[in-house]
Amino acid sequence: MPAAAAAERPRIALTAGEPAGIGPELLGAISAGEFAADLVFIGNAELLIERARAARKHLALHPHDADKPVGKAGSIAVIDTPLGVPSQAGQLDRRNARHVLDILGRAADGAQSGEFDAIVTAPVHKGVINDAGIAFSGHTGFFAERAGCEVVMMLVADRLRVALATTHLPLSAVPAAITREGLTSTLRILHADLRRHFAIEQPRIAVLGLNPHAGEGGHMGREEIETITPVIEQLRGEGLNLIGPLPADSAFVPRHLQHFDAVLAMYHDQGLPVLKHAGFGHAVNVTLGLPWVRTSVDHGTALDLAGSGRADAGSLRAAVQLAIELAG
Q: Residues 157, 282: contact at Cβ < 8 Å? A: yes
pLDDT at position 8, please? Answer: 75
Side-chain-side CA neighbours of 325 within 13 Å: the count stands at 12
At 312, give phi and psi (nearest 5°): -90, 125
List helix spans (H) across 155-245. Answer: 174-177, 180-196, 223, 229-237
Q: Which of 315, 319, 310 is nearest to 25 (CA)?
A: 310
> What pLDDT is recorded for position 70?
58
Q: What is residue 34's predicted lDDT score, i.e. its pLDDT?
A: 87
The predicted structure's pLDDT at residue 226? 97
Residues 6 or more apart in contact with residue 242 via CB below 8 angstroms: 187, 205, 206, 207, 232, 235, 236
What distance in Å separates the CA atoms of residue 70 and residue 57, rounded to the nearest whole number? 23
pTM of this structure = 0.92
Nearest-angstrom CA–CA distance, 4 and 27: 22
In one letter, which amino acid is 40?
V
Query: According to the model, what pLDDT value does residue 5 have?
Result: 46
Which residues on neighbouring strands pair with residue 13, listed in sequence order? 40, 119
**Per-residue pLDDT at 1:** 43
Neighbours of 105 (CB within 10 A): 17
pLDDT tens, N- to C-terminus, the chain (328 residues)? 455 544 578 999 999 999 999 999 999 998 878 899 999 999 999 999 999 988 788 899 999 998 876 556 678 999 999 999 999 999 999 999 999 999 999 999 999 999 999 999 999 999 999 999 999 999 999 999 999 999 999 999 988 999 999 998 999 999 999 999 999 999 999 999 999 999 999 999 999 999 999 989 999 999 999 999 999 999 999 999 999 999 999 999 999 999 999 999 999 999 999 999 988 888 999 999 999 999 999 899 999 999 998 999 999 999 999 999 999 8
Bridge partners (DSSP) of residue 149 are: none
- Beta strand 160-164 with 152-157 is antiparallel
CA distance 130 to 136: 6
CA distance 231 to 226: 9
- What pairs with residue 43 in β-bridges? 80
End-to-end CA distance of the chain: give it in Å, rounded. Answer: 14
**Residue 88 to residues 127, 161, 274, 308, 323, Cα–Cα distance (Å):** 17, 36, 34, 12, 30
pLDDT of residue 288: 97
Which superfamily does 150-283 belong to? Isopropylmalate Dehydrogenase (3.40.718.10)
Written out in words, the top-level CATH class of the domain with range 1-148+290-328 is alpha beta
Q: How far is CA 21 from the centre of its chain?
A: 17
Can you give the pLDDT at residue 116?
96
Could you state, in order of their start, the residue ranges of all structural domains in the chain?
1-148+290-328, 150-283
Omega of the bond prior to 245 within 30 degrees of 0, cis?
yes
